[in-house]
């Protein structure tokens, strides 16, 4: 089978387009997001937060209306003792994405790491008092965004899931962050659709669970990191070369 140049170009385009449609979001560089980081610096170290927290214009709580709170127990590797985690896998958010706080003492908390990033937010698990960081964190944005980034801390290689939701409660994507290390991560909607109205962050990560910090929301289109954009200047250059060659 022989390919004509224009056939190859069409094939390349369809491959790139196909790859872009494969996932609802793409991972992008945290530093590519334009926005002010929500740093939780106003929270006192060790504070337990009952009720919905508003920070940087974003609401934080435990779960959304429609999500049932269950308890998951997971043994630490090599130990009999179990960690108890918030489990939100039963039920789905109802339309409107209404944020709910956890029970008193089992909602959210703040911890100051004493470094440049300072205070981070954690979810309190179902065993209040012995479950710092083992709970779910959910966030509801004032208006939907097309991209978001955040810092995770105290990650010990356990399962971590970021579930992104539309305002109608529909799941956009459950991003699997399992096996990550502490760091900053960012995700952008494929095609730049600004329909991410909130998220839940759940995990089974032992030893102080995980904490969230430096949340950035972006509404402006984020440059796609895919090869598509790298390809375009290359194709334009090739076309220009071809035109020059024909002209001579
Ligand atoms: Ca901070
Ligand atoms: Ca909780
Ligand atoms: Ca941990």
* pLDDT at position 147 over 50: yes
pLDDT band, very low/low/confident/very high, at 25 (cuts 50, 70, 90) = very high
* pLDDT for the residue numbered 132: 77
Distance 70 CA to ligand 3 centre (A): 20
* pLDDT for the residue numbered 199: 98
For residue 197, the surrounding DSSP H or E stretch is strand 196-204
Distance 194 CA to ligand 3 centre (A): 31
Distance 212 CA to ligand 1 centre (A): 8
CB neighbour list of residue 46: distance below 8 Å, 6 or more residues apart: 109, 110, 111, 112
Q: Is 11 exposed, middle or buried (0-12, 13-18, 19+ CB in 10 A)?
A: exposed
pTM of the model: 0.81
| pLDDT digits 0-9 by tens, 74-92 | 877 776 667 889 999 999 9
Other residues' Cβ atoms within 10 Å of the Cβ of residue 45: 12
Distance 134 CA to ligand 3 centre (A): 8
| pLDDT digits 0-9 by tens, 154-196 | 999 889 999 999 999 999 999 999 999 999 999 999 999 999 9
Question: Chain-wide mean pLDDT for the chain?
Answer: 86
Instruction: Lowest mean pLDDT of 94-103, 134-143, 230-239, name the range.
Output: 230-239
Q: Which ligand sits closest to the CA of 184?
A: 1
- Which tokens is 160 given? 């971590």
Q: Which of 218, 165, 149, 221 is nearest to 190 (CA)?
A: 221
Give the C-alpha separation, 90 to 39, whole Å: 30
Strand order in the sheet with 53-55: 53-55, 58-61, 137-145, 196-204, 159-165, 171-176
Give the C-alpha separation, 51 to 48, whole Å: 10
Q: Could you tell me the residue ranges of all domains in the chain?
A: 24-247
Own/partner long-range contacts of 50-54 (Cβ < 8 Å, ≥24 apart): 50/101, 50/104, 50/105, 50/107, 51/101, 51/107, 52/99, 52/100, 52/101, 53/108, 53/121
pLDDT band, very low/low/confident/very high, at 53 (cuts 50, 70, 90) = very high
Distance 122 CA to ligand 3 centre (A): 11
When pLDDT is averaged across residues 211-233 and rounded to a whole number, the result is: 73
Provide the percentage of residues in the chain whose pLDDT is more than 90: 68
When pLDDT is averaged across residues 96-112 and rounded to a whole number, the result is: 96
* pLDDT for the residue numbered 73: 86
When pLDDT is averaged across residues 14-24 and rounded to a whole number, the result is: 60
Between these two residues, 69 and 75, which has the higher pLDDT value?
A: 69
* pLDDT for the residue numbered 20: 47
Between these two residues, 82 and 70, which has the higher pLDDT value?
A: 70
- Which tokens is 166 given? 């539309």
Cβ < 5 A residues, ion ligand 3:
154, 156, 205, 207-208
Instruction: Lowest mean pLDDT of 5-14, 128-137, 217-226, name the range.
Output: 5-14
């Amino acid at each position: 089978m022989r390919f004509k140049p224009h056939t190859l170009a069409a094939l390349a385009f369809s491959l790139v387009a196909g790859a872009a449609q494969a996932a609802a979001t793409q991972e992008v560089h945290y530093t590519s997001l334009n926005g002010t980081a929500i740093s939780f610096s106003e929270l006192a170290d060790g504070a337990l937060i009952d009720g919905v927290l508003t920070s940087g214009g974003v609401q934080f709580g435990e779960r959304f209306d429609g999500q049932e709170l269950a308890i998951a127990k997971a043994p630490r590797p090599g130990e009999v003792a179990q960690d108890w985690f918030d489990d939100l896998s039963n039920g789905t958010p109802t339309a409107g994405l209404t944020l709910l706080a956890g029970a008193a003492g089992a909602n959210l908390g703040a911890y100051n790491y004493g470094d440049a990033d300072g205070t981070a937010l954690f979810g309190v698990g179902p065993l209040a008092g012995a479950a710092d960081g083992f709970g779910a964190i959910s966030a509801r944005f004032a208006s939907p965004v097309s991209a978001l980034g955040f810092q995770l801390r105290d990650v010990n290689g356990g399962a971590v899931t970021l579930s992104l939701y539309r305002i109608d409660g529909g799941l956009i994507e459950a991003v699997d962050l399992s096996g990550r290390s502490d760091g900053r991560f960012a995700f952008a909607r494929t095609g730049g659709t600004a329909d991410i109205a909130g998220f839940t962050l759940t995990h089974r990560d032992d030893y102080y669970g995980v904490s969230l910090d430096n949340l950035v929301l972006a509404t402006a289109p984020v440059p796609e990191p895919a090869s598509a954009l790298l390809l375009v200047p290359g194709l334009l250059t090739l076309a220009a070369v071809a035109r020059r060659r024909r002209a001579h």
